[in-house]
């Protein structure tokens, strides 16, 4: 968890008290988590053409962040997580309307004008334009279970193909 003796704690607490705080989840490629642990979430690493404008993308819904999680190699032998692991950040976000967009009816009332490359956020999305307004609180670690799902999907595709072949013959 985050330690309160961080140099920015006083400023963070003041802003959090003024604007309020919400929790958001961020899924990413496993290889990015070394940097996230050392530097926090940083909007400057985001893609140049972000769909909903510049900033750090989070979600109020863990399942949305889970869709962006990409597992990577676990280098710890005999880990209970297996050979592949993935991570999701659970972060605190200051709800400053000047730097934070949260999807909902509330978004329309913030007075933030959207540029042409920004559009209304999907439900549950949070976009934060100031790195200092996001701080990592927890890292959720997941075991890769996609492998079994992929094998089942491939088996279903093979069965469907065989069925089509039988219908044609």
3-class SS of residue 101: strand
pLDDT surpasses 70 at 21: yes
Closest alpha carbon to 12 in 106, 45, 46, 3: 3
The pTM of the full predicted model, rounded to 2 decimals, is 0.70
Express each pLDDT in 27-73 by its tens digit.
Answer: 888 888 878 888 888 776 665 556 777 888 899 988 888 888 888 87
- Confidence at residue 150, expressed as pLDDT on a 0 to 100 scale: 53
According to DSSP, residue 129 is labeled S
pLDDT surpasses 70 at 88: yes
- Confidence at residue 108, expressed as pLDDT on a 0 to 100 scale: 42
Q: Is residue 120 within 8 Å of residue 102, measured between CB atoms? A: no
pLDDT surpasses 80 at 93: yes
- Confidence at residue 114, expressed as pLDDT on a 0 to 100 scale: 44
- Confidence at residue 51, expressed as pLDDT on a 0 to 100 scale: 73
- Confidence at residue 92, expressed as pLDDT on a 0 to 100 scale: 92
- Confidence at residue 23, expressed as pLDDT on a 0 to 100 scale: 94
Which contacts qualify for 106-115: CB closer than 8 Å, 24 or more apart? 114/53, 115/53
Of the pLDDT bands very low, low, confident and very high (cuts 50, 70, 90), residue 107 is very low
Q: In the chain, what percentage of residues exceed pLDDT 70?
A: 69
């Amino acid at each position: 968890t985050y330690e309160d003796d961080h140099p920015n704690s006083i400023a963070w607490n003041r802003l959090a008290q003024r604007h309020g705080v919400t929790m958001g989840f961020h899924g990413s490629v496993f290889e990015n988590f070394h940097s996230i642990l050392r530097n926090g979430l940083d909007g400057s690493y985001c893609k140049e053409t972000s769909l909903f404008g510049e900033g750090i993308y989070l979600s109020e819904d863990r399942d949305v962040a889970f869709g962006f999680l990409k597992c990577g190699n676990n280098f710890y032998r005999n880990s209970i997580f297996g050979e592949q692991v993935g991570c999701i950040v659970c972060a605190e976000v200051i709800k400053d309307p000047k730097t934070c967009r949260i999807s909902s009816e509330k978004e329309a009332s913030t007075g933030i004008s959207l540029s042409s490359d920004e559009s209304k956020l999907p439900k549950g999305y949070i976009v934060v334009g100031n790195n200092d307004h996001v701080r990592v609180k927890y890292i959720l670690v997941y075991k890769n279970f996609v492998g079994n799902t992929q094998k089942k999907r491939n088996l279903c595709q093979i069965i469907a193909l065989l069925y089509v072949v039988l219908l044609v013959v």
